[in-house]
Structure 1
Amino acid sequence: MIWELVYKIFVDTLNLWKPYTFPSPMDVLNTLIDLIGDNTLFLAIIASLRRLFIGYIISLVVGILVGLFIVKYKYIDENLSPLILGLQTIPSVCWIPFAILWYGINENSILFVTVIGSIFSIAISTEAAIKNVNPIYVKAARTMGASGRKLYFNVVIPSALPGIVSGMKQGWSFAWRALMAGEMLSASKGLGQVLMAGRDLGDVSQVMAVMIVIVAFGLIFDKLLFGKFEKSIRYKCGLERKN
C-alpha cells in the first residue's frame, strides 16, 4: 500500500519520477507472472540455489575449521585473526577479477566468489563464540575430570553453539550477496543474470521483481531453517523458554 501510494504521488500526480525508473506494484507483479510463465524464474532459482548450497557448505566447513584452529592455537590466533578480519571488510565484488583470472568465466568462478564472500564471517563468528564461552563452564568441567579434547568437544563447542549458529546465519546472507555479484558478471543463468538482463533492457520492473524474489528466499530460509535451528539450540542451552 505504501509503495502504491508513493507511485501515485510522485509518478502519476507530481510527475517527479518516470514510470521506467520507479514501477508500480502491478507492473512488478505482471513482470513476475511473466517470468514464472515462461519458466525463466524457475530455472534461475534452481541454478542460483544449487550454486548457493554448494558454496555455502564449503564455506561453512572451512570457516568453522578455521575458527576452531584460531582458538586452539595461540600462534595462529595472533597472526591469522587480523588478516581474516581485514579480508572480511573487502566487498565480494572485489574478488570477481581474481575469480575470472584464476578460473575463467564459468561455474568455478561463481563458486569461488560465493565461498570467499562468506567464509571469513563464519570463521570470525566461530572464533568469537568460542572465546565468549562462560569460564565457569570450563572450570566446572575440569573439576569433574574433563580435559583436552573431551573438554573442548563436550563443553566448549556445545556452549558456543548459539554464537556459531548466528555466524552461520550471517554467512548465509553474505553468501547470497556474493552469489548475486558473481552471477551478474559471469553467469549464463541464475537470479543475478536475470537481474542484469533487466538492467540491460532498461526494465526496472524485472529488476525489482528479482529483488523481491531474493528477499523472499532470504526470509523463508531464515524462518524455516535457521530460525528454528537457532531457537532449538538456545532452548537446549537455557537461553530461551519453550512456548
Structure 2
Amino acid sequence: MPPEVTTIDAAAASGQSEDRRRLEAGLDRLQTDQEHRPSRWRAFWTSVVPPVLFVLFLLLVWQLYIMLADPRPDRAPSPAAVFAALAEGWESGRVQLAVSTSLERGIVGFLIAIVVGTPIGLLLAEVSVLRRAIGPVISGLQVLPSVAWVPAAIIWFGLTDATVYFVILMGAIPSIVNGLIAGVEQVPPQLRRVGQVLGANRWQLATAVILPAALPGYIAGLKQGWAFSWRSLMAAEIIATGGSIGFGLGSMLQQSRELADLAGVLATILLILFIGILIELLFFGPLERRVLRGRGLLLSGGSR
C-alpha cells in the first residue's frame, strides 16, 4: 500500500477518534447538567424567601397606613391587633382545633376526589364519545360555584361531615378530570403507537403510557383541584354550622363575623391564606418542579 494512502487513513482515523471524544464529552456534559440539582439552601432561597419578603412588605405598608391614616380600630385594625387576636385564639386552643379539623377534612376530601376523578378523567380522555357527551357537563360543574351546593347538601345529608365532603368533591373532581384530559391531549401520538407495538392493551396503554406522559397537565389539574377543595371547604364550614359538624376555620371565621371582631376575621383569613401557601411550597411546588425537571423542561436553577 502506498505511504500516501496509509497517511490519509491514519488521519481519517484520528479525525474520527477526535470526533468521538468530542461527542462523548458533550454527552457527559449534558448528563452532568441534567443530573445537577440545586442545593437545599438555594431551593429554599428561591422558593420560600421571595414570598416571605413580599408578605413582610405588605405588613409594612399596612402598618404605615395605620400610622398615617389613623382609622377606626373596628374598621381597620392594626397588624398588632390582628396578631394579638391570633395569639388569643392559640392560647384558648381554638386555632389548633380549627386548623386540624379543616386540614383533615381538606386532605381527606381531596384524596377521595383524586381516587374518583382520575379514572373518570382517563375514561373521558380515551373514549371520545363519552368526552363529547359528558365533557361539557364536567366543564359546567367546574364553573359552578361550590357554595351553590351547600344548601342542597344540607337538605340531603343534614348538618354532618357528609355535607362538607360532598361540597369538597363537587368542587375538586371537575378540575382534576379536566386537568387530566388536557394532559392526555398533549401526549405525542408516537407514544401510543410505541405502546401498541409493544403489545399493551387498552388499560395498560392508559395507565403505563398515557398517564405518566400526561403528568404535567395532571399535576396542574391536581393543583387546581386542591384550590377548589380548600375554597369549597371554607364555603361549607361558613354556611353549615351546628349539628355534628366540628369547629373548622370556616366556623371560626363566621364566629368572628357574628361578634363583629374584625381583627379575628382578618386573623382567620391570614391563617387560611398561610395554609394554602404552605401546601403549595411544601407539596405541589416541589412535585411540579421534579416532574418538569425529569422531562428536561426545567433548568437546574428552577427556571424554564
Interval containing the TM-score (normalised by the shorter chain): over 0.9
- Provide the aligned C-alpha RMSD in A: 1.6
Q: TM-score, normalising length from structure 2? A: 0.74
**Residues 195, 210 of structure 1: 8 Å contact kept:** yes
Give the fraction of aligned pairs with identical amino acids, expressed as a percent.
34
**SS in structure 2 of the partner of residue 84 of structure 1:** helix
Which residue of 2 is the match for residue 171 of structure 1? 225
**Residues 141, 174 of structure 2: 8 Å contact kept:** yes
Which residue of 1 is the match for residue 171 of structure 2? 117
Q: How does 1:152-191 map to 2 (within 5 A)?
A: 152-187=206-241, 188-191=246-249
Q: Provide Cα deviations, 1:171-223, integer angstroms capped at 9, x if missing partner.
A: 11110100000101224401000100110000011011011111111111111
- Tell me how far 1:147 sits from its aligned partner: 5.6
Cα distance between partner residues in 2 of 1:27 and 1:87: 40
Rg larger in 1 or in 2? Answer: 2
**Residues 150, 167 of structure 2: 8 Å contact kept:** yes
**SS in structure 2 of the partner of residue 189 of structure 1:** coil
Q: Which moved more, 1:17-26 or 1:131-140?
A: 131-140
Which residue of 2 is the match for residue 82 of structure 1? 136
Q: How does 1:47-196 map to 2 (within 5 A)?
A: 47-142=101-196, 148-187=202-241, 188-196=246-254
Instruction: Output the amino acid matched with 1:225.
Output: F
Q: TM-score, normalising length from structure 1? A: 0.92
Which residue of 1 is the match for residue 62 of structure 2? 3
Cα distance between partner residues in 2 of 1:171 and 1:7: 37
Structure 1 unaligned blocks of 5 or more: none
Which residue of 2 is the match for residue 240 of structure 1? 298
Instruction: Output the amino acid matched with 1:154.
Output: A
Instruction: Output the amino acid matched with 2:139.
Output: L
Which residue of 2 is the match for residue 204 of structure 1? 262
Cα distance between partner residues in 2 of 1:66 and 1:21: 47
Q: Provide Cα deviations, 1:216-243, integer angstroms capped at 9, x if missing partner.
A: 1111111111111111111222222345
**Residues 141, 170 of structure 2: 8 Å contact kept:** no
- Tell me how far 1:156 sits from its aligned partner: 1.5
User: In the superposition, relative to structure 1, how do residues 241 and 155 fare at CA in structure 2: closer, same or farther (>3 Å)?
Assistant: farther
Instruction: Output the amino acid matched with 1:9.
Output: L
Alignment length (residue pairs)? 238
Instruction: Output the amino acid matched with 1:168.
Output: L
Which residue of 2 is the match for residue 33 of structure 1? 87
**SS in structure 2 of the partner of residue 241 of structure 1:** coil
**Residues 159, 237 of structure 1: 8 Å contact kept:** no
Instruction: Output the amino acid matched with 1:82.
Output: P
Which stretches of structure 1, 4 residues or longer, exceed 6 Å deviation after superposition?
Answer: none
**Residues 103, 109 of structure 1: 8 Å contact kept:** yes
Cα distance between partner residues in 1 of 2:194 and 2:183: 19
